[in-house]
A and B are shown apart, each in its own frame.
Chain A
Amino acid sequence: MHDDLALFAEEPPMAIDIAVPALEMRGIGKRFPGVLALEAVDLTLAPGKVHALMGENGAGKSTLIKILAGVYQSDAGTMRIHGRDVAIKSPRDSLRQGIKVVFQEIALIDEFSVAENIFLEGHPTDRFGTIDWRKIRTDCADLFERIGFAIDPAARTGSLPVSQQQMVEIARALAHQASIVVMDEPTSSLTPKEVKLLFTIIRRLTALGIAVLYVSHKLDEVFEIADTVTVLRDGRHISTRPIGEHTDDSLIQDMIGRRIVDLFPRQRGPAASRVALSVEGLSTRKLHDVSFEARAGEVVGFFGLMGAGRTELAKAIVGYDPIRAGTIMVDGQWMTPHNTAVGVGLGIGLLSEDRKVEGLMGELPVYQNASLASLGRFAAHGFVDAGKERQAVQTYVERFRIKTPSLFQKVKNLSGGNQQKVLLSRWLMLGLKVIVVDEPTRGIDVGAKSEIFGLIDELAGAGLAVVMMTSEMPELLGLSDRVVVLCEGRVTASMSREEATQEKILNAAIGSQGRASHEFRV
């Protein structure tokens, strides 16, 4: 019954010649304004195999996937699919060639039901072209049941927690007859059980002769699932080897190009005893009774899976979002909740995780972006002293080595790392006591990453309390003096740098309740 889904067919979706590579990319290059994203990259996928694509953020993985998906077009190189030369000019072309990409940024329509999103690429219709809603619902329910998913197909997708949205996104790949499935960091918000489920699904795909490109930077996953690994670094192809030839160290060496300690230069001294930020019993729609302290000169790292409430906490403590209960004290003074003006006045500010939406004013020049928070400093009687302002920005441009052709460059034309530095200088020009950084290295290339780490270290060294929200384990362990773990809006663990281990942190992040509500029948 219901065997019309590719995943469960007895036969592969199409006649696949095992001898011919499913995908061959040769000499792929891509340039963006100011950035060379990819340079002469080769990639070959074999049918029925899992090929891992690895690299740090900014290595060029996302660009390569987007070229495969038809979102970007390469500037150089050729592509062959099952032995045929192809040109992929749009996502439509890509789908037609049997490529299905599962993006890390969830590509679902919030307003649609889960079932409809599963069939977004093509609604099943009857012979009159009328959408068969019954079939959509039953097929979706059937698919979920077989892969052991406890999600209501009729639920509005936007109302689901992020982890479930990601599972829906993965399930979508199964509803279509693809011969190449690309998964971009599919586990970034999944629980270990969900990850296991994902791997079961991947194995069933490869059994059908489908080629899987698995993009990740998590070593353990790659060792478990992949047959072959290709590593990219700074937009260049570094290595392609069977997984058996790799060790942890060799992979890291390939990915980072140096030893991990270099990434986290720690130069600051011990933290002061003065409490710069104290949060007591904070509750919002998503958070429940969160309490913690951060001392001057200390980095407090918050870890949690997607949807655990990290961003919500960040926004609540700087006064951006309303709270239900609790008190926030900045440097010993009570802060009015839901009022960023008071927050900034007391010296607490947020470096948002979403630079584009909440940080950058893309159309405005670099200097205006940098001086936004401290503009009043450069003004007399309401008039801005532009010379003084630009002079001040200039010192930060030099101090942070911000690469920009001029102060008047539109900030949207800068690379991610430089944008992040501009936003950091926005706060440093003002002079904060507490800075909350939310995923400070998202979408930033490796070189800039270590610079940002250096800056954070420097900030703490200068006496700021740094509250860091992150989902990157190395970042958390490398930078924090103390680690606090969130799960479903609650603090589930708090430990010192010395006590913290990856395992302890993950256990706390998954939490007992997490397991209960993500019940799967695999």
Chain B
Amino acid sequence: MSFASDRLEGAPSVWRRLIARQEVAVLVCLLALLVFFSVSAENFLSTRNITNVLGQASLALIAGIGCAVVFISGEVDISIGSLLATVAVPLIVVMNDTNSLFLGISAALVVGLAVGMINGFLCAYVGLNSLIVTLGMMFVLRGGVYLYTGQRAIADEAGLDSFIALSDGRLFDVLPYSAVIAIVLLAAFAYVLRYRPFGRQVYAVGGNSEVARLAGYDVRRIKFACFVISSLLATCSGIILAARVGSAQHIAGLNFEFQVVAATVLGGVSLSGGIGSLGGMALGVLILQFLSNGLRSLDLPTEWQLVITGLIIIAAVSLDEVKRRRAHGD
């Protein structure tokens, strides 16, 4: 059987489909960045530096999965930065009391789950605007952490080896465990989004929620699940951050949501839902991380780092828009 596909108007060739993807553009950007910094900054291309950056990127990569999933479902979640600080509190407090990493992580996950369910309930079932709900949640969580801790960090007194390994340990002495976790989670969720019916339902709901409803999907439950996933993944980031800083930090994750949102959009995940991939998101995160690492290597002060990051975000999103307009022809 032969399909007359190439004769049909509007069916692009594999090659054209490939270069039209945002991921490819982002990948090219990342490679260009890597080449530039390898030439201009000493030590940039060392294994140690690259694996360090992967470890540093793990926070945004893991939370970014959740952010991307929520975006793909057509909603937003900007409470993740505050959640990072929030979940560290039960983690460290329980760990200090019980000397058990398992119980600590469980406590953190319970709190993360609760937050995700509240966000999900208010946005998916009550039908409130997710930007507003998660903005409110951002304030509530941050304020709650300040109230509970009296604005003091809570130190990890237990000093469990397993917890320290989350920060210092490296697989085969090369790749930080946090990066390993990020890669595993990325692979798992990439699988879910591509190969599980739930993943496809998330895309369908974000692409056209009315069509999804007609196809018999429980749109509200799917959106609810996305918020829960986002909170649970931000919880994972919170746990790793707590290990990296050996404590529960009330100021952890300030502006983290901006970084993650920017990286996710940079990676081609559309704010309007239904479009984007975890691969793109990961590339977006890596670009911003390598950029910040490279700029540090070049000894550029903070102000320049801010200016350059801002410019790159605007440029990337504009290019995306130009491309989309060309694709849709308006």
Contacts and interface: CB of A to CB of B under 8 A. Distances in A.
Direct contact of A and B (CB under 8 A): yes
Interface of A: 69, 71, 90-92, 94-96, 101, 103, 107-112, 116, 120-123, 125, 129-131, 133, 141, 144-145, 150-156, 159-161, 164, 285-286, 321, 517, 519
Given A108-B211, A120-B204, A131-B194, 10 more contacts: A91-B216, A101-B214, A109-B204, A109-B207, A109-B274, A112-B200, A112-B207, A150-B4, A152-B5, A517-B9
Contacts of B275: 111
Contacts of B301: none
Contacts of A125: 197
A69 B200 contact: no
B204 to A, nearest CB: 5
Contacts of B214: 69, 71, 91, 101, 103, 107
B213 interface: yes
A150 B3 contact: yes
Contact of A112 (B1, B7, B203): B203
Contacts of B217: 92
Contacts of B195: 130-131, 133
A131 B215 contact: no
Contacts of B150: none
B11 interface: yes
Contact of B11 (A91, A103, A160): A160
Given A109-B203, A145-B1, A122 B197 contact: yes
A320 B263 CA distance: 34
Contacts of B330: 321
A287 to B, nearest CB: 12
Given A91-B216, A110-B208, A150-B4, A159 B197 contact: no
Contacts of B127: none
Contacts of B7: 517
B144 interface: no
Minimum-distance CB pairs A-B, first 7: A152-B5, A92-B216, A95-B216, A109-B207, A159-B10, A107-B211, A120-B215
Contact of B10 (A112, A130, A160): A160
Interface in B208-233: 208, 210-218
Contacts of B204: 109, 112, 120
B252 to A, nearest CB: 36
A111 B207 contact: yes
A159 B216 contact: no
Nearest to B194: A131
Contacts of A159: 10-12
Interface of B: 1, 3-5, 7-12, 17, 194-197, 200, 203-204, 207-208, 210-218, 274-275, 329-330
Nearest to B273: A111
A120 B216 CA distance: 9
Given A92-B216, A103-B214, A129-B196, A111 B10 contact: no
Contacts of A103: 214
Contacts of A152: 3, 5, 8, 11
A250 B215 CA distance: 37
A512 to B, nearest CB: 16
A150 B218 CA distance: 33
A111 B274 CA distance: 7
B274 to A, nearest CB: 5
A63 B275 CA distance: 31
Contacts of A69: 214
A141 B5 CA distance: 12
Given A109-B208, A131-B195, A131-B197, A161 B218 contact: no
A254 B303 CA distance: 76
A130 B214 CA distance: 23
Nearest to B10: A159
Most buried by B among A116, A130, A141, A153: A130
Contacts of A155: 5, 8, 11
Contacts of B216: 90-92, 94-96, 121
10 contacts: A71-B213, A91-B215, A92-B217, A103-B214, A129-B197, A130-B196, A145-B1, A151-B3, A160-B11, A517-B9
Nearest to A146: B1
B213 A131 contact: no
A112 B200 CA distance: 9
Nearest to A322: B330
Contacts of B215: 91, 95, 107, 120-121
Q: B203, B207, B216 — which one has the most chain A CB atoms within 10 A of its CB?
A: B216
Contacts of A150: 3-4, 8
A416 to B, nearest CB: 18
B207 A110 contact: yes
Contact of A131 (B4, B5, B200, B210): B200
Contacts of B4: 150, 519
A95 B8 CA distance: 33
A286 B9 CA distance: 11
A41 to B, nearest CB: 22
A129 B192 CA distance: 10
Nearest to A141: B1
B24 to A, nearest CB: 16
B200 A517 contact: no
A285 B325 CA distance: 13
Nearest to B205: A109
Nearest to A285: B329
A430 to B, nearest CB: 25
Could you say which of B200, B208, B215 has the most chain A C-beta atoms within 10 Å of its C-beta? B215
Nearest to B212: A109
Contacts of B203: 109, 111-112
A144 B1 CA distance: 10
B9 A161 contact: yes
B218 A92 contact: yes
B168 to A, nearest CB: 36
B1 to A, nearest CB: 5
A126 B297 CA distance: 49
B5 A91 contact: no
A205 B16 CA distance: 39
Contacts of A161: 9-10
A397 to B, nearest CB: 32
B197 to A, nearest CB: 5
